[in-house]
Structure 1
Amino acid sequence: MPMPATEIESLIRDGIPDARVEIIDLAGDGDHYEARVVAESFRGQPRVKQHQRVYQALGGRMGNELHALKLSTSVPE
């Protein structure tokens, strides 16, 4: 069963409270998403650490309920 975009957004916001999150359904099938996550708490962290924090917020759902996620992280300008 695909994971709704609203659930992905909620999980990321719960795990990274200062994050601005945008979820885009890439294929229109509710199964392939892009997540754009902007958080001040990412400042000074390498990109791989930023991505690890997002995956941690998703709580092991990648590859299970969440099939495909294109991830973009950054700090506010």
Structure 2
Amino acid sequence: MAMAAEEIERLVKERFPDARVEIEDLAGDGDHYAASIVSEAFRGKSRVQQHQMVYDALQGNMGGALHALALKTSAPQ
């Protein structure tokens, strides 16, 4: 069961309303994505903490409906 890029973006924006989100379907299968997310919520957080925040926003879909997600996260410059 695949997950649409729009659903990933919706979940991320629900958690981080100010986020700039770019999602790329790496394999064309709806299972392997790369996402770039920029949000003020990441300021002062380590890369691991930022990624954990995104995984939390995905509400348990990581490893299930969403098989792989390459993340690039940052705070606005």
Q: TM-score range by the shorter chain?
A: over 0.9
Cα RMSD (Å) of the superposition? 0.8
Distance in 1 (alpha carbons) for counterparts of 2:53 and 2:16: 8
In structure 1, stretches of 5+ residues that fail to align are: none
**Equivalent position of 1:69 in the other structure:** 69
Could you state the TM-score of these two structures normalised by the residue count of structure 1? Answer: 0.94
The one-letter code matched in structure 2 to 1:12 is V
**Aligned counterparts of 2:17 and 2:50: Cα–Cα separation in 1:** 14
| 1:28-48 deviations in Å (ceiling 9; x for gaps) | 122110111001121111111
Q: Name the residue aligned to 2:22.
A: 22
How far apart in 2 are the matches of 1:7 and 1:14? 10
Question: Which residue does the alignment assign to 1:49?
Answer: 49
SS in 1 for 2:44: coil
In structure 2, runs of 5+ residues without a counterpart are: none
* d(CA) in 2 for partners of 1:8, 1:55: 10
- Identical counterparts, % of pairs: 64
Instruction: Name the CA distance, whole Å, in 2 between partners of 1:2 and 1:62.
Output: 11
Taking the aligned partners of 1:45 and 1:65, their CA distance within structure 2 comes to: 27
Query: Distance in 2 between the 1:64 and 1:28 partners?
Result: 17
Report how many residues are paired: 77
> TM-score, normalised to structure 2's length?
0.94
